[in-house]
Amino acid sequence: MTDASTPRRLGFLLTQLGTFASARFAERVRDLGLVPSDAGVLRLLSRNPGMSQRDLAGRLGTVPSRVVVLIDSLEGRGLVARTRSPSDRRNHELRLTDAGRTTMGALRGIAEAHEHELFASLDDEERRLLQGILAKLAADFGLDTEVHPGYSERGQ
Amino acid sequence: MTDASTPRRLGFLLTQLGTFASARFAERVRDLGLVPSDAGVLRLLSRNPGMSQRDLAGRLGTVPSRVVVLIDSLEGRGLVARTRSPSDRRNHELRLTDAGRTTMGALRGIAEAHEHELFASLDDEERRLLQGILAKLAADFGLDTEVHPGYSERGQ
DNA sequence: TATTGTTATACTCTATAACTATA
DNA sequence: TATAGTTATAGAGTATAACAATA
């Protein structure tokens, strides 16, 4: 069909694999009753307890009104708690509940399994090389080490 | 903030970079007045002229009704033509018009530039290694060499 | 007057199901 | 009766703008 001789473009491969990895992660996360956006928020809050909703919006690259919906959902399931800031009562401080921390632990397990599955066919040397190259590229483009781009419907 | 010591997970990096690459490609494509889904369809039709809408739906992993919308739009802009199949008048044969082929040429230029931009910081050896590893992973998961996962709102 | 969070609303994307025309 | 394509419709996800509470 297509030209099997020409090596596929790197950008194409990167997009294809990134999309595949996201979709696969989303599947796994669904087993916990979460969507990928939930996972992103839990992850961020576990590392930055007490964040305000505006902080979170900025970090996720979205608008405050979207954060309301995300947090409403997580709060409704008892995974995140809002508490009004004593110093400025306009602010909500966001934190994981105990249940939220438990879920976060499960998410770490899922990420581990995901990692194993994706890179099963690579040897240690290849993993090391890939890690080095991808980290370099991520640095080139200033990609945030904590924030996942797909806070919405994507993976991890 | 976060543990800068621990190397970032490969899966995380892959998703992050894949998403970034998609978004960047989408920006470039927009300069041609196209959305990424358009680019995916043009690409597929340039390699498989005469495809039916059902073939295309199957290839894109979507439903026939979605293809109607995609092709309506491209046909409206004069980039794709529908012709009824003489052998079975239920079928539409899809082909690029001359204008569609011209646009396809421009898309190839964009893909080239995109590639340059993304991997500017890598030397030849690194590119070769990355290509090898990513191609191996793509093969592991049976990713189609012709079809871009994001026929919808993603890149390339 | 400015800022945080919320609500109301509208828009985009996409899929499901009913429909038509051809076979 | 079965298949290709189309249309109508509804749902999910997300953003914009108006609003209420607090500073």
Show the tokens assigned to B69: 């919308």
Residue of chain B minimizing CA distance to A25: B11
Identify the three-state secondary structure at position B115: helix
- Report pLDDT digits (tens) over A68-113: 999 999 999 999 999 999 999 999 999 999 999 999 999 999 999 9
Would you place residue B144 in the very low, low, confident or very high pLDDT band (cuts 50, 70, 90)?
confident
- Distance CA(A144)–CA(A151), nearest Å, equals 13
Identify the three-state secondary structure at position A6: coil
Instruction: Find the Å distance, CA of residue A58 to C1' of nucleotide D16.
Output: 17
- Nearest residue (Cα to C1') for D14? A66
Q: Provide the β-strand partners of residue B82.
A: B94
- Distance CA(A8)–CA(A3), nearest Å, equals 9
- pLDDT at residue A150 is higher than 70: no
Contact of B47 with B100, CB cutoff 8 Å: no
A152 touches strand D (CB under 7 A): yes
Phi, psi angle pair for B57, to nearest 5°: -55, -45
Would you place residue A153 in the very low, low, confident or very high pLDDT band (cuts 50, 70, 90)?
very low
Map out the domains of chain B as residue ranges: 10-140
Among chain A residues 39 through 98, which have CB within 7 angstroms of nucleic chain C?
Answer: 52-54, 64-65, 67-69, 71-72, 82, 88, 90-92
A35 touches strand D (CB under 7 A): yes
CATH class of A11-140: mainly alpha
Contacts of B119 in chain A (CB under 8 A): 10-11, 137
Average pLDDT rounded to a whole number, residues B11-15: 94
Greater confidence, B77 or A146?
B77
Indicate the average pLDDT of chain A.
Answer: 90
Among chain B residues 13 through 42, which have CB within 7 angstroms of nucleic chain D?
Answer: none
CATH class of B10-140: mainly alpha
Nucleotides of D under 7 A from a protein CB: 3-8, 13-18, 21-23
At B25 the pLDDT is 93
- pLDDT at residue A154 is higher than 90: no
Instruction: Find the Å distance, CA of residue B123 to C1' of nucleotide C12.
Output: 41
Closest CA to A55 of A89, A85, A98, A91: A91
Q: Which amino acid is at A50?
A: G
Identify the residue among B1, B5, B14 best suited for mutation to test binding to A, counting A beta carbons within 10 A and taking the highest.
Answer: B14
Question: Computed from CA positions of residues A125, A126, A127, A133, in that sequence, does the dihedral angle turn out positive or negative?
Answer: positive
Nucleotides of C under 7 A from a protein CB: 3-8, 13-18, 21-23
